[in-house]
Structure 1
Amino acid sequence: MNPLVALAVAGTDSGGAAGVAADLTTFAGLGAHGACAVTAVTAQDTVGVRRVVQLAADDVRAQVDAVLEDLPVAVVKTGMLGSAEVAAVVAGLPPSLALVVDPVLRTTSGTALADEALVAAYRTHVLPRSTVVTPNLAEARRLAGASPEDAHEDVARALHALGPAVVLTGGDPGAHLCRDLVVDDRGRMQVLEHPGVPTTNDHGTGCTFSAALAVHLAGGEPLPAATRAAQSFVAAALRRSAGWRLGRGRGPVAHTFVPPTQEV
């Protein structure tokens, strides 16, 4: 049996915690074959981003076309897009492909990765084409044009009105209980709670969550079940890396996994 094929369209992280590194290792950890189209090359570590080199939309399109023309891609997961032109490449993907969008607008350390043109492209072109979008609250507010006073539920519904199902993630660092707000494709809302993991080694959790969600959705699971499975995958990774001492800042979430026992 061939493995499920998942395509990541995202930037690199030279520290190996987020972006394409997180996507491909998560795909592998869940038994999927990962392909990638790099949108930007970053020089970053656990403290922050030092430099970003944005690839042209034609370069990203060439990578996407090479993968789609050769491999049976079941799902596309996006991370950092970096420009409205690259967003147009994503919006032009074949409509039959499931599309999971992690709208990376700003790094945890505060570096802006999206200008207003890109935010507008998300709203106008990418989100209407998406299967599901997985923002944190700050990203959701910016994409929805919401104010800080707007309730989480209203922000999630505003995003759903743009086209996609929504998983509004609520895994704040140090939280004892995390709440992910899910709005499915029919507009039904539910809150999925899960225990938090006390750790500062959480760089890459957003990428990891959305990549895990993409694999489970492509495997045929409904959104709530796929969300639960992605929550469990990330929690296990956070527990694995909780005692690590890697880097001078917020360390990486674990992208190691135990391979299945080989049969003799």
Structure 2
Amino acid sequence: MTATPKTALTIAGSDSGGGAGVQADLRTFFACGVHGMTALTAVTVQNSLGVRDFGEIPVHLVTDQIRAVAEDMGVDAAKTGMLATAEIITAVARTLDEVHIGRDADVPFVVDPVAASMHGDPLLREEALEAIRTELFPRATLVTPNLDEVRLLTGVEVTDVESQRDAATALLELGPRWVLVKGGHMYDNPECVDLLSDGAQVVELTGPRHDVEHTHGGGDTLASAITASLAKGLGVPDAVSQGKRFIERAVAEAYPLGKGIGPVSPFWRLQPDQ
């Protein structure tokens, strides 16, 4: 009999094109060797060209999904993605307390604050951004915003490593234990520098910048890879380091799919020599 793997829960929206959202989370969990579980928050109508429409899942169904898997199967780590509304965000936060998930319950909880599109356009209204600040961040083991999300959540414009540090300080003031300020959008830097901090430690994680067009689902994939490593018992710095290695390879091996922007690829992990 196969040993039971560790479990990871994603609380996020569905991407009908399979490049991001829970689809990206689940395939990353699988590639990282953990059992993935879901609590759907929204259904999107999208493909490689963009999002055409979306509909929110009723709040009670979102929270009941969390309860169902937590009470029966257990959760070794959890993450959020697209949460859509302030009402869903608040309900998810309170339900995580109920089932003992989050930094104060010692079950790692990663918040990927999906608040801006890959083009920098806001995806959430201000009341939802405020709910992320006040409800999710204080419960988070780690938050993983991109630079546009940093700007929307804190007002800090990140243009270099020094302003990344300013952003980390501003984010930590909102209550998470750790912050990862991703530097993938600092295009004038020849390297991709992500900054990890808990206020006492500051770690700069550098890696190659790949000149690729197909990056759909990159943020989801990174957060999911980190969550999988946390589920396996790694500490935050080691989990983030492994997650960065995973996304570097996933971006390097991204593939075209459809007429627009294709997804990053976790399939490298399934090669026999990896």
TM score, norm. by length of structure 1: 0.91
Amino acid at match of 2:193: R
Aligned residue for 1:183? 197
Residue in 2 that maps onto 1:120: 130
| Contact preservation (8 Å) 2:12, 2:22 | yes
1:182/1:192 contact within 8 Å kept: yes
**Which of 237, 240, 250 is matched with 1:224 structurally?**
237
Instruction: Identify if the C-alpha distance between structure 1 residues 140 and 107 changes in structure 2 by more than 3 Å, giving closer, same or farther.
Output: same
Matched residue type, 2:88: V
User: How big is each residue's C-alpha offset from its partner over 1:16-43, in whole Å with a ceiling of 9 and x where there is no partner?
Assistant: 1000001000000000000000000001
Q: 1:146-157, aligned counterparts within 5 Å?
A: 146=156, 151-157=163-169
Please report how far the alpha carbon of residue 180 of structure 1 lies from its aligned counterpart in structure 2 after TM superposition: 0.3
Give SS of 2:67's match. helix
Residue identity matched to 2:227 = A
> 1:203: which partner in 2?
216
Q: Distance in 1 between matches of 2:271 and 2:191?
A: 31
Equivalent of 2:21 in 11, 14, 19? 19
Q: Structure 2: where are the runs of 5+ without partners? A: none
Would you say 1:169 and 2:182 are equivalent positions? yes
Give the counterpart letter for 1:122 in structure 2. Answer: I
Change (3 A) 1:160 1:224: same
Alignment partner, residue 247 of structure 1? 258
CA apart distance, 1:190: 2.0
- Paired residues in the alignment total 258
> CA-to-partner distance for each residue in 1:148-181, whole Å, 9 max, x for gaps?
6892211111101111110011113876410001
Over residues 215-244 of structure 1, what are the superposed CA-to-partner deviations in whole Å (9 max), with x where a residue is unaligned? 112222222221111111111112222xx3
Show the counterpart of 1:91.
Answer: 93
Tell me, what secondary structure is at the counterpart of 2:267?
A: coil
Give the % identical residues.
40
Q: 1:182 to 1:258 in 2, by over 3 A?
A: closer
- Counterpart of 1:191 in 2: which secondary structure? strand
Displacement after TM superposition at 1:86 (Å): 1.2
User: What one-letter code is carried by the residue in structure 2 that aligns with 1:130?
Assistant: A
* 1: CA distance, partners of 2:230 / 2:89: 22
Greater helix share, 1 or 2? 2
Note if 1:139 corresponds to 2:149. Answer: yes
- Residue 66 of structure 2: which of 42, 64, 67 is its match? 64
Equivalent residue letter for 2:71: E
Kept in 2: contact 1:173–1:200 (CA 8 A): no
Structure 1: gaps of 5 or more residues: none
Of residues 158, 168, 178 in structure 1, which corresponds to 2:170? 158
* Residues 176 and 197, structure 1, Cα contact 8 Å, conserved in 2: no
Q: For residues 220 and 27 of structure 1, what CA distance do their matches in structure 2 show?
A: 14
Change in Cα spacing, 1:257 to 1:33, as seen in structure 2 (3 Å) is farther
The CA deviation string for residues 97-145 of structure 1, in whole angstroms up to 9 with x for no partner, is 3210000012225564211111110111110011100001110121123
Code of the residue aligned with 1:162 in structure 2: it is: L
Cα shift at 1:59? 1.4
